[in-house]
């Protein structure tokens, strides 16, 4: 077992619990929680290596012939054009939300968005807690509900996708129990909007997002980070749009940190600071890619995936340290100047600079840029 991974998982839970009763200094709370989230999520993203290997047509020798015959899982991988367009799409979405809050009733907008986030949050919380419940074994893993459902449709592929629609499902009892608990939690969140419940959903979004999504290559990751570097600077320093949306939107797009546990006499609410999920997830995608590159360099086996496997992690560790330093600088500048800061202004140079320096020192610059998780592209090259 990787003791640091176990410690990170425990830290996430303990910080969530203790912050409700003990006032933890804001900067320490933020750095500890974010570091724990990144360490855990990046290590769980090692499961992508197995899925990508199956997508390339490799066979898992640890599975039965029946399991080997199943179609390989589809992995989400960013393309170069997507990375280039991301800041533009993000800007359009951000400005759209700003206009919605400016020209429509704020409570109505938040009601609609809260319903959406509660639905998405239910899925994220289910995906996070189902594997935890499954560790108890017994009926949680042995009881299985599966059905193959395929529906043909006459719609063009660009509208309805490929025909038939595959609505098949395969659930264990752990999945069902996790879903029922998550559904009840999401309904309660929709009603209460408590900051503690917000953080549960926010943390789950971070963990599952980083775990399941691949940037494809280092170059694509660098393009995305550089684009969002300028995106963050413009919308924070150039306008009031980013800050207005972050403060107005009452949803789990941010993690909240209490600055006081005593409610305000007028509002009845405690003072909270926030960190947008994008400042965790976007660098998290990049750090997870570097960890999988470390595993690739160390020739760690795809089958079976062991997230606790021990191997050298020079790129991941240096980038994680760079991220922590970048976030620390962000906090210092924000507190010193008493003004909101675009975190990616400091995080992007820290992550890119640390990884490039590591590659330069180790003489692996070419290998870093050659590493690819783009399954389709690699298959085309083989053909």
CA pair distance 250, 198, nearest whole angstrom: 9
Are residues 185 and 120 in contact, defined by beta-carbon separation less than 8 angstroms?
no
Residue 146, H or E segment: strand 144-147
β-partners of residue 151 are: 165
Q: For this structure, is 170 an active site residue?
A: no
Nearest residue to 123 (alpha-carbon basis) of 194, 187, 178, 161: 178
Which residues have a Cβ under 8 Å from the Cβ of 107 and sit 6 or more positions away?
A: none
Let me know: does 227 contact 86? Beta carbons within 8 Å: yes
User: Maximum Cα–Cα distance for the chain, whole Å?
Assistant: 69
Nearest CA to 277 among 311, 239, 301, 251?
251
Helix (H) or strand (E) holding 305: none
Question: Which position among 232, 240, 264, 294 bears the catalytic label?
Answer: 232
The span from the CA of 186 to the CA of 117, in Å, is 9
232 belongs to the catalytic site: yes
Residue in 82, 107, 279, 294 annotated catalytic = 279
Strand partners, 171: 145
Cα 199 from Cα 16, distance rounded (Å) = 8
- Give how far Cα 379 sits from Cα of 125, 228, 287, Å: 34, 30, 25
Instruction: Give the residue numbers marked as catalytic.
Output: 232, 279
């Amino acid at each position: 077992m990787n003791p640091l991974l176990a410690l990170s998982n425990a830290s996430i839970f303990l910080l969530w619990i203790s912050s409700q009763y003990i006032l933890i200094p804001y900067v320490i709370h933020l750095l500890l929680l974010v570091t724990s989230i990144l360490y855990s999520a990046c290590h769980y993203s090692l499961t992508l290596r197995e899925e990508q290997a199956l997508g390339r047509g490799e066979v898992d020798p640890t599975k039965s012939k029946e399991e080997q015959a199943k179609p390989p899982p589809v992995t989400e991988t960013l393309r170069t054009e997507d990375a280039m367009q991301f800041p533009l799409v993000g800007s359009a979405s951000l400005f759209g939300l700003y206009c919605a809050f400016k020209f429509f009733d704020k409570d109505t907008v938040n009601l609609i968005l809260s319903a959406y986030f509660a639905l998405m949050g239910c899925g994220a919380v289910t995906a996070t807690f189902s594997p935890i419940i499954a560790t108890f074994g017994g009926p949680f893993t042995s009881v299985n509900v599966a059905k193959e459902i395929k529906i043909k449709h006459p719609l063009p592929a660009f509208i309805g996708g490929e025909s038939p629609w595959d609505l098949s499902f395969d659930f264990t009892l752990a999945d069902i129990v996790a879903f029922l608990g998550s559904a009840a939690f999401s309904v309660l969140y929709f009603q209460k909007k408590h900051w503690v419940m917000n953080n549960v959903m926010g943390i789950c979004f971070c963990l599952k997002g980083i775990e399941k999504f691949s940037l494809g290559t280092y170059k694509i990751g660098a393009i995305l980070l550089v684009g969002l570097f300028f995106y963050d600077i413009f919308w924070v320093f150039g306008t009031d749009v980013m800050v207005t949306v972050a403060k107005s939107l009452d949803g789990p797009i941010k993690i909240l940190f209490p600055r006081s546990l005593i409610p305000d006499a007028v509002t009845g609410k405690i003072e909270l600071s926030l960190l947008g999920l994008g400042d965790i997830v976007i660098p998290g995608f990049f750090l997870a890619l570097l960890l999988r590159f470390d595993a690739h360099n160390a020739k760690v086996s795809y089958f079976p995936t062991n997230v606790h496997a021990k191997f050298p992690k020079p790129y991941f560790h240096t980038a994680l340290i760079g991220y922590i330093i970048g976030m620390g600088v962000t906090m210092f500048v924000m507190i010193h100047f008493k003004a909101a800061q675009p975190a990616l202004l400091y995080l992007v140079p820290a992550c890119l600079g640390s990884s490039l320096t590591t590659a330069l020192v180790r003489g692996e610059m070419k290998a870093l840029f050659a590493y690819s998780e783009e399954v389709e592209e690699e298959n085309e090259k083989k053909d």
